[in-house]
Amino acid sequence: MMARMAQKTLAVFDALGHERADRRIAILRQIGALGSISQAARSAGVSYKAAWQAIDTLTNLAGVPLVERVVGGVGGGGARLTDAARELLAAAEAMHRARGEVALGLARQGKGHAALAQLAVRTSMRNQWPCTVCSVQRQGPLALVDLQGPGGALALQARLTRESAELLGLAAGLAVQVLCKATAVQVYPAAQAQPGDQPNHWPGRVRRVARGPLGDEVAVQLDGGLQLVGFAPPGSGLRARSAVVASAQPSALALMLAD
């Protein structure tokens, strides 16, 4: 019994990948205060659908129910937090305070560095770039996000759901981290590049090639100076210094906000 309880408690902390100011945590907090998902959504400045996406995501991460419906009553029913949700909120508050204390200590010592925020997240995605949002175009249930790499070295476009853009609070000028799996990046000789204004086509030169029966893993230095890892078809014939173009679908790019 104790082992099962400990396992559930630990799972709750898996939902704390972001700080106290994360909109998903804010929505959960407002549900506890207001007893209504629709009112919590309005208070957090997101749609009702985005609020439900936040609840579903946190529930999946925590591995236990966080919100339960309340049927009937004067207001016709509502929602309330489970004990696990209250535990999650308390942990989020404690982690927020701890992060603040660490950041303040580093700043006083002159040791703060932007890279520390990115190192706090472990992921299997090989390609990670600090970027700035240039624009957000909402098209029905989707959002197209145009981004710029450091120093204008890289132009990217990501496609995500409208609710995800809402929950992240995406807007022009916001700093984000862009992530993309190496297996989602195609690398091919520059001579085969198709003309046009398609997003996420980045010229560069090969740095290393690891050949394999399912595909050649290619490390590329992009013309703007950033690094990238992608895959070419097996037997691609690519070698160091070969001119190439790397490309990825906008839906393959994930966005992350640093704490």
The closest of 161, 177, 71 to 119, measured between CA atoms, is 177
Residue 174: both structure tokens together: 């916001």
Is the pTM higher than 0.85? Answer: no
Q: 23-34 and 48-62 are packed helices; what angle lies between their axes, rounded to 10 degrees?
A: 100
Residue 253 · residue 180 · CB < 8 Å: yes
Question: Which residues make Cβ contacts (< 8 Å) with residue 200, sequence separation at least 6?
Answer: 156, 157, 247, 248, 249, 250, 253
User: Is-contact 216 232, C-beta < 8 A?
Assistant: yes
Among 12, 14, 44, CA closest to 28: 44
pLDDT of residue 21: 43
Q: And the tokens for 83?
A: 């004990």
Q: What are phi and psi of 178, to 5 degrees?
A: -100, 130
**Dihedral of the CA atoms 45, 49, 52, 58 (nearest 10)?**
-70
Domains of the chain, earliest start first: 2-109 (1.10.10.10), 117-180 (2.40.50.100), 182-248 (2.40.50.100)
Q: What is the pLDDT of residue 130?
A: 87
- Half-sphere exposure of residue 124, counting CA atoms within 13 Å on the CB side? 3
Per-residue model confidence (pLDDT) at position 7: 44
Position 106 scores a pLDDT of: 65
Outline where DSSP puts E strands in the chain: 67-70, 78-81, 127-139, 142-148, 155-161, 175-180, 186-189, 201-210, 216-222, 227-232, 243-247, 254-256
pLDDT for residue 220: 94
**The pLDDT of residue 97:** 79
- At 103 the pLDDT is 63
C-alpha 21/C-alpha 19 separation (Å) is 5
Instruction: Check residue 200 and give its pLDDT.
Output: 93
Q: What would the DSSP string read from start to end of 69-96? A: EE--TTTT-EEEE-HHHHHHHHHHHHHH
**pLDDT tens digits for the chain (259 residues)?**
333 433 444 344 444 444 434 788 999 999 999 999 999 999 999 999 999 988 988 887 788 889 998 876 544 468 999 999 999 999 888 887 776 676 667 666 765 555 555 545 556 788 988 899 999 999 999 999 999 988 787 899 999 999 999 999 999 999 998 999 999 999 999 998 776 667 899 999 999 999 999 999 999 999 888 889 999 999 999 999 999 999 999 999 999 886 5
